Amino acid sequence: MKFEGSLHKMQVSLADPVQYQLNLGGSTVKLHELLGKRLRLTSLQAIHCIHCGRKTNKSFSQGYCYPCFRSLAQCDICIVSPEKCHYDQGTCREPEWGEDNCLQDHYIYLSNTSGVKVGITRHTQLPTRWIDQGAVQALAILKVSKRYYSGLIETVFKQFLNDKTNWRSMLKNDYSEVNLLEVFQQVWPKVKEQLDDELLNDLTVIADTEEPLDINFPALNYPEKITSFNLDKKPVIEDTLMAIKGQYLIFEQGVINIRKYAGYEVSLEIL
């Protein structure tokens, strides 16, 4: 069976284990049902922008052409660093997009990927955000009215907690279970004393009312050593699918981050 089309991030559904779908050329491939199957993923040597469809020689910010990368609000620095939001200065690249996506309720959360980390996301993106980062445990702890506030609060949390995932450890499924509510209760007083009245008046503490989430990913086995496949250097990957975690396909001989190759034209064969 063979499918062809432009790669986009895998669609996820919370289940036990997580269900993964890849949409290629109008067809839906249920990847979680292919564990143990030998697959052939081939780059067709073409890249199209995931926003405008323009053909591009190089992908920017996981799937955009350079003009879109330079003009879209979703590619601006404040998406990576929300504390740098400049909407109130009148310089947002796309004010309407900002209103729909950034001037909405956001959560600050704790998750366990390769260890405890702090993160933020729009209220509509849970639990997708946690699944995409490969979290095995997660808990929403605070709610604020806009992305800018969540970024400011996250910056304070980063004095006490990591905000990055060790992706190699995450793919090895190397973690220890933790009580995320206890972690929050230990750190929150230190964070709270550094927040100004504007932030304190806006936020709502939800850690005590939210249920911690445990996430189980589809896997036959996890690798002991991580080797990355690169479609630019090796356009054909033929290997047995062993696990899926985050946005990674984990094969016997290596792993590939599907989101990294968004916009790439590929064929996928089930051998």
97 lies in some domain: no
Same structural domain for residues 116 and 194? yes
Say what the pLDDT of residue 171 is.
98
15 lies in some domain: yes
**Spatial separation of the C-alpha atoms in residues 238 and 250, rounded to whole Å:** 12
pTM (predicted TM-score): 0.95
Same structural domain for residues 110 and 185? yes
**Domain endpoint, select from 214, 234, 250:** 214
Average pLDDT, the chain: 97
Instruction: Report the number of distinct structural domains present in the chain.
Output: 2
**Spatial separation of the C-alpha atoms in residues 94 and 87, rounded to whole Å:** 9
**pLDDT tens digits for 14-52?**
999 999 999 998 999 999 999 999 999 999 999 999 999
**pLDDT tens digits for 119-138?**
999 999 999 999 999 999 99
93 lies in some domain: no
85 lies in some domain: no
Same structural domain for residues 206 and 227? no
Number of C-beta neighbours around residue 258 at 10 A:
22
- Position 110 confidence tier, pLDDT thresholds 50, 70, 90: very high
Query: Residues 236-242: what's their mean pLDDT?
Result: 98
Same structural domain for residues 146 and 241? no
Same structural domain for residues 109 and 174? yes
99 lies in some domain: no
Long-range contacts of 71-75 (CB under 8 A, 24+ apart): 72/97, 73/97, 73/98, 73/101, 74/101
Say what the pLDDT of residue 11 is.
98
Range of 261's domain?
2-63+218-270
Same structural domain for residues 111 and 125? yes
169 lies in some domain: yes
Please choose, from the candidates 142, 118, 144, the residue with its C-alpha nearest in 3D space to the C-alpha of residue 130: 118
**Domain endpoint, select from 174, 190, 214:** 214
Percentage above 90 pLDDT, the chain: 99
Same structural domain for residues 11 and 112? no
